[in-house]
């Protein structure tokens, strides 16, 4: 029911004054996350953390603002955690995920089926080997906590391919840091400071993307510290939205 209200509001964006639309949307999202949290708690038989104001909710709200969306590719989709929100919210959109780990892919598709999500699937694939996908074949190409595993000598090629494949936008939820002192041309650094969390790649994604798409419009949203329990993300977690200019 609440899902339908959000879809209706997304469809009506052009017909309602902007300020009123934003107000209605804000209320609709707040109610949606509250209901989803209650459903989660009932399913698990315990109190769960609020979804409203979480990084996933922020990502989902930003993602849905691109409505209508025909199809989407997620790089490093793991168990399809984001599909469980996004594919349900946007049932007309086709979601494809790739993940390098075959066991994860198998488990992901079982859970997707069990949850009766019919517009999403995950296949095994490597972000560094997506040259086979046609140009401009997905409206949105996104990653959430996946590019941080891609090595320094491969990231430039991955970004270039994501740009080539996307028709409208790229959205990243990754660790971002503007640092003029990066030691290499790929603008990245492995963050030993947080090695107790694993070693993640931190990059200046804005510069990296502009190297390959100089006319793209890029907006950065720092994810508020309060949304994280993990220090690396609290300091460096960003949503990076890239709107492509197609000639």
What is the binding site for ligand SAM (CB under 6 A)? 75-78, 81-82, 98-101, 104, 126-128, 144-146, 149-150
CB nearer to ligand SAM: pick between 9 and 108:
108
Cβ-based neighbours of 143, under 8 Å, separated by 6 or more: 74, 75, 76, 127, 162, 172, 173, 174
Q: Would you say 101 or 118 has its CB closer to ligand SAM? A: 101
Which residues does residue 70 pair with via DSSP β-bridges, in sequence order?
none
Distance CA 55, CA 224 (A): 8
Residue 243: strand, helix, or coil: strand
Q: Dig out the tokens for 83 from the structure.
A: 């599909």
Residue nearest ligand SAM, CB atom distance: 76
Comparison of 94 and 128: residue with beta carbon closer to ligand SAM: 128
Q: How far is CA 187 from CA 19, 68, 106, 127, 190, in A?
A: 39, 34, 34, 19, 11
Crossing angle for the helix pair 2-11 and 18-44, to the nearest 10 degrees: 160
Least distance CB 151 / ligand SAM (angstroms): 9
| Residue 31 or 48 having the CB closest to ligand SAM | 48
Residue carrying structure tokens 């969390």? 197
Taking alpha carbons only, the member of 144, 119, 178 closest to residue 59 is 144
Closer CB to ligand SAM, 9 or 125, in the complex: 125
| Shortest separation between residue 104's beta carbon and ligand SAM, angstroms | 5
Nearer to ligand SAM, 27 or 53 (CB): 53
- Residue 166 Cβ, how far from ligand SAM at the closest point, in Å? 16
Smallest gap from Cβ 138 to ligand SAM, in A, equals 15
Element (H, E) at 166: strand 166-175
Nearest distance in Å: CB 214, ligand SAM = 26
Secondary structure of residue 178 in the 3-state scheme: coil
Q: How near is the Cβ of 80 to ligand SAM at its closest, in Å?
A: 8
């Amino acid at each position: 029911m609440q899902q339908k209200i959000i879809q209706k509001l997304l469809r009506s964006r052009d017909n309602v004054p902007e300020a009123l639309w934003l107000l209605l949307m804000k209320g609709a999202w707040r109610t949606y996350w509250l209901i989803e949290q209650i459903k989660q708690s009932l399913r698990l038989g315990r109190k769960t953390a609020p979804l409203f104001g979480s990084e996933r909710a922020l990502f989902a709200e930003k993602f849905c603002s691109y409505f209508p969306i025909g199809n989407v590719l997620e790089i490093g989709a793991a168990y399809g955690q984001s599909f469980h929100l996004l594919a349900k919210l946007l049932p007309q959109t086709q979601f494809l995920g790739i993940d390098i780990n075959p066991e994860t892919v198998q488990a992901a598709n079982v859970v997707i089926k069990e949850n009766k999500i019919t517009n999403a699937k995950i296949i095994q694939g490597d972000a560094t080997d997506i040259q086979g996908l046609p140009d401009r074949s997905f409206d949105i190409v996104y990653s959430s906590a996946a590019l941080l595993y891609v090595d320094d000598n491969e990231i430039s090629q991955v970004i270039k391919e994501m740009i080539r494949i996307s028709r409208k936008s790229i959205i990243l939820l990754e660790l971002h840091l503007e640092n003029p002192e990066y030691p290499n041309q790929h603008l990245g650094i492995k963050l030993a400071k947080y090695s107790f969390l694993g070693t993640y790649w931190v990059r200046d994604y804005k510069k990296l993307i502009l190297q390959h798409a100089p006319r793209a419009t890029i907006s950065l949203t720092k994810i508020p510290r309060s949304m994280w329990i993990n220090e690396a993300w609290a300091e460096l977690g960003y949503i990076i939205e890239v709107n492509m200019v197609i000639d």
